[in-house]
Chains A and B, each alone.
Chain A
């Protein structure tokens, strides 16, 4: 009976605490909705550049009439077979320009079909299957195998900075090739037709790809939790009021907090980077100074989030719940595990307001691709603006908490 009394008391306290009750009810539902929506599994609007030099013709020996020319247009058939929801296809003329454009942030791959593409595929198919009867202009002709044709391979230049997207693109291309080859009853596989050139030489593993986001998330979790708890404790113990009665402005208090926790954040980041490199050989080819700049801006902004959380939370337990309520969704929508490109448009606005999106994206560019300040201008601008706005809101929040504690 005493056990029930204790349990009843705990539940009564939870029910009396409206915020905790709301979090208990809403949090699981919120996570499920977000998880289900944020990972749709399908990619959208990936830009690829295509150069179609294929003349569409195949010259094949026949038993009846010597050589005939078939107009099969296989490169075009490939293009038509691509999933148009997944790809935005940009067709250009120059193969070198196509390969160069893969360096652009929004272009994921370039595919260059050589002039004798159709010819090579059809002859290869006939050679592999032996004689084959087909109807041409109403007459049945027997296609005969010819000597292997030395045709250049189709060139695929792919941005493998994001292994998930690179793998999805190759999967989609293989499907389209398979469709085209099936139309020719060919046993040839797509892989034998392709000359693949990966931008990063396949050096970026899934572990490397997720590491910047995980490091960013670990920093977020620890920094926000530490700061929010510290401010709540400062307020509930009365020391914040005591501080604000002294000749010190809310600005100075906020900056003091920011300075202390930024130092802790930077120390943690250094520890995370070092440990991940030493223990798991995580790729880090960029400038550590640039990574530090990202971390500083990011950490300052996180202080602000933490201070705002502490305004809403009546006690440390509530602060912890608010931290989880905000941070776990940020992990889901910030492109840490699955690319933003897979997210439905309804969820993407959440990605764009999550600072982790920009920290993750910029750290990825620096760590994995050796990017410099110029490559992460947008992310630095967003993180800088985020830090300033959050700092200003923290001051207001600090003042309010000090005077209403």
Chain B
């Protein structure tokens, strides 16, 4: 499964108003991997995703996506990004949102319609296609946002908290689908603050106070921390990290 490195970050440092948010952070993700980035609130997950995507410029270090040093416009058409905010037009319908973003990726109208049907089926919003997004619940808006990020069949997808506010049944469906996409050689980096969720990932990174506490398969992390679940493993690693500092 492990192919070429499609994400490579080295020595990333990022501060906001003198507060260090990412501290000398390095990671790499291979093609077709489902990489779970877990951490508590404020750990730096969103900042890391935004830095990798080229939205933020690191103070130090560099990030490469699909072989291009970021920020680069060359990877945009192959990149999928679902921000933590909904980032959808509330005054447009679900379908109109998909049509607009599909147009930015130069998808033809018929292609967009086809993809919209598939994706709305996936996020269980087929019956809401013509409903204005502003009238949907928070969880539903997040699902619209997820559908938008998958619309153009990107090779590399960053999903920032895609399952927050989503009910357990749908959450399971979504994780199944993330795994399916990874099996099709799509690379996914998924953040979550619900640590146990990343059990379904190929590789897991635990982030705390802007540092990567550990990286490995869930099994490797459980074995290293001598714990039976990832929640406990995270707490052990966090305490170790604090003790070191």
Residues of A whose CB lies within 8 Å of any CB of B are 237-239, 241-249, 402-405
Contact = CB atoms under 8 A, between A and B. Distances in A.
Contacts of A243: 104
B76 interface: yes
| Nearest 3 interchain pairs by C-beta | A238-B87, A238-B85, A246-B104
A244 B56 CA distance: 12
Given A239-B88, A239-B89, A242-B101, A247 B83 contact: no
B104 A247 contact: yes
A245 B81 contact: yes
B87 A237 contact: yes
A247 B101 contact: no
15 contacts: A237-B85, A238-B83, A238-B87, A239-B89, A241-B55, A245-B54, A245-B76, A245-B81, A246-B104, A247-B73, A247-B76, A247-B106, A402-B55, A403-B54, A403-B55
B175 interface: no
Contact residues of A: prevailing secondary structure = helix
Contacts of A403: 54-57, 71
B146 interface: no
A248 B83 contact: no
Interface residues of B, number: 23
B81 A242 contact: yes
Contacts of B230: none
B148 interface: yes
B223 interface: no
B58 to A, nearest CB: 13
B189 interface: no
B53 A245 contact: yes
Contacts of B81: 242, 245
Contacts of A249: 73
User: Taking each of B55, B88, B106, which has the highest tally of chain A beta carbons within 10 Å of its own beta carbon?
Assistant: B55
Nearest to B76: A247
B55 A245 contact: yes
Interface string B55-82: 1110000000000000101001101010
Contacts of A239: 87-89
B140 to A, nearest CB: 16
B53 to A, nearest CB: 6
Nearest to A249: B73
A28 B54 CA distance: 42
Contacts of A247: 73, 76-77, 104-106
Contacts of A404: 56
A249 B86 CA distance: 22
Contacts of A237: 85-90
Given A246-B105, A403-B55, A241 B83 contact: yes
B231 to A, nearest CB: 29
User: Taking each of B71, B83, B90, which has the highest tally of chain A beta carbons within 10 Å of its own beta carbon?
Assistant: B83
Given A237-B85, A247-B76, A247-B106, 17 more contacts: A237-B88, A237-B89, A239-B88, A242-B81, A242-B83, A242-B87, A243-B104, A245-B53, A246-B77, A246-B104, A246-B105, A247-B105, A248-B104, A249-B73, A402-B55, A403-B55, A405-B55
